[in-house]
Amino acid sequence: MNKPCIFCEIAAGRMNAEIVHEDEHVVAFRDIHPQAPMHVLIIPRKHISSMLEIAPEDAELLGHMHLTARKLARDLGIAEGGYRSIFNCGTDAGQTVWHIHLHLMGGRSMGWPPWPGN
């Protein structure tokens, strides 16, 4: 039997998370392993396993995720100094949960390339 998707469980309210935003399309919550002083994950309520699985009809949802990131960056006080937003796709990119999620990170200077420590 397949294990339930942890992000689907959070989106449905069946698993606890420190939620900072939710609407009919997305839920945003603080990452439990933050890589920056401010690290929030923005997930769609719709289950999409990977960026490889997105379809043309998901374009509006992906745009909504980015607009939510912009709003949260302002609300959480990281917009002025700058922030990073990232989708990881696949294990080599660091994807560990198979439900797309947009990382919103800020609150410190970040180098490039985004190796550990940057």
For the annotated catalytic residues, the residue numbers are 101
CA 78 to CA 5: how far, in whole Å?
30
Instruction: Output the six-digit token pair for 19.
Output: 């939620």
Which secondary structure element, helix H or strand E, spans residue 7, and what is its range? helix 6-11
Count Cβ atoms below 10 Å from residue 104 Cβ, excluding itself: 27
d(CA 74, CA 92): 31
Strand, helix or coil for residue 28:
strand
Written as one letter, the residue type at 35 is Q
Closest listed residue to residue 50, CA positions, set 5, 102, 100: 100
